[in-house]
């Protein structure tokens, strides 16, 4: 298992993406955790253009070659186009927000582009408004599921029992939401480590990450 940070997208005062700040922030977070999750709900992907998302992918992959890039879109053709561009950048780990219908076809179209790379269904019912049927995800050609937001206590377990897919922790400050009990819960689901929405981690959060890594090294 690993600790993956869902990094936010920094913006300038004029509303454009601040790529310099992203480069510094992503690099700092990547030095503490095992991986980055880029342009998810915390990364404000609905507000980003395709070029801005690709720019963030490029920045993230430069500091963390194993970054998970979110290429999902409401239209499969847009997700496929994003996947094609991300593949050209060298991305090998992908996530795509789950559509409201046609799950199997959606992920198969993306799979055709990314080949045998890791491909995760990105499920965040609270932020994305879609709570897919676990069985539908079990039948899709995906590596696992990244679960974000507040999905309740039962839903993550249903996902794992249906397909053995990975479960991510809810996003939030690690010092508040990522204690060892929660790590143990995810470990039982064979999931990812927790995530943080902050790029400047407080000492207590860095200490929590160290504690999580120690647990994973010993028991994961």
Taking the CA atoms of 118, 71, 141 and 130 in sequence, report the sign of the dihedral they define.
Answer: positive
pTM (2 decimals)? 0.79
Structural domain count, the chain: 1
Helix (H, G, I), strand (E, B) or coil at 77: helix
pLDDT tens per residue, range 200-214: 445 555 666 666 666
**Between vectors from CA 167 to CA 31 and to CA 202, what angle results, nearest 5°?**
35
**Between vectors from CA 186 to CA 180 and to CA 190, what angle results, nearest 5°?**
135
Phi-psi region at 39: left, alpha or beta (left = phi > 0; alpha = psi -120 to 50): left
Closest CA to 70 of 18, 20, 8: 8
pLDDT at 99: 87
Q: How confident is the model at residue 43 (pLDDT cuts 50, 70, 90)?
A: confident
pLDDT tens per residue, range 155-191: 767 776 776 655 554 444 443 344 444 444 443 333 4
Pairing of strands 35-38, 144-147: unpaired
CATH number at residue 56: 3.20.20.70
**Which structure tokens are listed for 68?**
């998970």
| φ and ψ of 123, to 5 deg | -120, 120
Look up the domain containing 156 and give its range. Answer: 4-219
CA–chain centroid gap for 94, Å, is: 8
**Which structure tokens are listed for 91?**
């991305």
Helix (H, G, I), strand (E, B) or coil at 169: coil
pLDDT tens per residue, range 99-125: 888 999 999 999 999 999 999 988 888
Question: Are 132 and 101 contacting, i.e. CB atoms less than 8 angstroms apart?
Answer: no
Question: Are 120 and 142 contacting, i.e. CB atoms less than 8 angstroms apart?
Answer: yes
- H or E element, residue 187: helix 180-188
Helix (H, G, I), strand (E, B) or coil at 50: helix
Is the per-residue pLDDT at 3 higher than 70? yes
């Amino acid at each position: 298992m690993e600790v993956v940070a869902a990094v936010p997208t920094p913006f300038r005062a004029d509303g454009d993406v601040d790529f310099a700040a992203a480069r510094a922030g992503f690099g700092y977070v990547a030095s503490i955790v095992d991986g980055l999750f880029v342009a998810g709900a915390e990364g404000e992907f609905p507000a980003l253009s395709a070029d801005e998302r690709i720019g963030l992918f490029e920045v993230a992959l430069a500091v963390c070659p194993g970054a998970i890039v979110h290429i999902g879109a409401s239209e499969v053709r847009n997700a496929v186009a994003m996947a094609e561009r991300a593949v050209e950048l060298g991305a090998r780990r992908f996530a795509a927000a789950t559509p409201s219908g046609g799950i199997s076809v959606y992920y198969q179209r993306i799979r055709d582009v990314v080949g045998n790379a890791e491909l995760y269904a990105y499920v965040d019912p609270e932020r994305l408004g879609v709570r897919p049927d676990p069985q539908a995800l079990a039948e899709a050609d995906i590596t696992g599921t990244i679960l974000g937001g507040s999905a309740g206590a039962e839903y993550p377990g249903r996902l794992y029992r249906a397909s053995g897919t990975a479960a991510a922790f809810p996003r939030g400050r690690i010092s508040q939401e990522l204690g060892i009990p929660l790590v143990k819960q995810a470990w039982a689901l064979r999931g990812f480590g927790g995530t943080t929405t902050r790029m400047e981690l407080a000492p207590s959060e860095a200490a929590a990450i160290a504690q999580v890594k120690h647990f994973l090294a010993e028991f994961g």
